[in-house]
Amino acid sequence: MSNIVIKQLGETPYSYRDVVGLIHAAFQERREEGLLFSCLSITEDEFRAKVGDDGVVFVAFDLEDGRLLGTSVTHQRKDKKGVLYGYNELLAVHPDARRCGIASSMLKTRLDYHRQAGSEYVLSDTASGATSSIRYHLKNGFKIIGLRSFPQTNYFSYLFRIQLIKETFGQRLYANDFFCRGVYLLSALRTRFVRRADGRYTRLAGLFIKRKG
């Protein structure tokens, strides 16, 4: 790990194409698990569009041999209450460089970035069957607060949250396991009632919507 450096993509010689190649290699693990992540086939243009004008791409590389070993993207957004928060996505570590702490170091960099930018909390999501990713989140202090269903996948996703500012009672609640479990449970019930894993409505929700319409 001593040779590993983390920087914003623009400060390095790596291109979007290099980053997309790394993402494809890293997400093979998910294909083998039968989880159809859209990242498996993401193109350079799609990646660029996802990053957009306000996204920040971080990369981790070996200073000695120049190998690109990790990447992650983060955005700052505003929630319904106007509170600033961070959203982390497209985290990938090369299969040859796993369990060396690269993902955790990149997370530290992104959390520092969000602290400085004034984000109150940071969100992230991953498939409910993606064991290594779930463990990485939990080990690094994220709490599971929701269940989501995204179109064109074949899995439900956990929504993770890590609270950066803990000044008010409401903010401190999100650092509490018991509270987060309750929030998760309500979200999971709602999602399971309304959505299938691939984002379509369940039959039950479909009937309800038809009757209302």
Ligand X SMILES: CC(C)(COP(=O)(O)OP(=O)(O)OC[C@H]1O[C@@H](n2cnc3c(N)ncnc32)[C@H](O)[C@@H]1OP(=O)(O)O)[C@@H](O)C(=O)NCCC(=O)NCCS
Residues that bind ligand X (CB under 6 A): 26-27, 29-30, 91-93, 98-104, 126, 130-133, 135-136, 139
Phi, psi of 85 (to 5 degrees): -145, 165
Q: What is the dihedral of CA 24, 27, 28, 31, to 10 degrees?
A: -120
In the complex with ligand X, the residue whose CB is nearer, 139 or 172, is: 139
Sheet of 68-78, strands arranged across:
4-8, 56-62, 68-78, 84-93, 121-127, 156-163, 143-149
By beta-carbon proximity to ligand X, the closer residue of 131 and 176 is 131
- Minimum Å distance from CB 120 to ligand X? 21
Least gap, CB of 205 to ligand X (angstroms): 27
Question: Nearest CA to 157 among 107, 122, 190, 191?
Answer: 191
Q: How far apart are CA 180 and CA 60, in angstroms?
A: 31
Residue 208 CB, nearest approach to ligand X (Å): 32
Answer yes or no: are the C-beta atoms of 82 and 110 closer than 8 Å.
Answer: no
Minimum CB distance to ligand X smaller for 27 or for 155: 27
CB of residue 98 to ligand X, shortest distance in Å = 4
Q: For ligand X, which is the closer residue by CB, 136 or 155?
A: 136
Distance, CA of 172 to CA of 170 (rounded, Å)? 5
If the CB atoms of residues 67 and 166 are measured against ligand X, the closer one turns out to be: 67
Shortest distance (Å) from residue 22 CB to ligand X: 9
Q: φ, ψ for residue 184 (rounded to 5)?
A: -60, -45
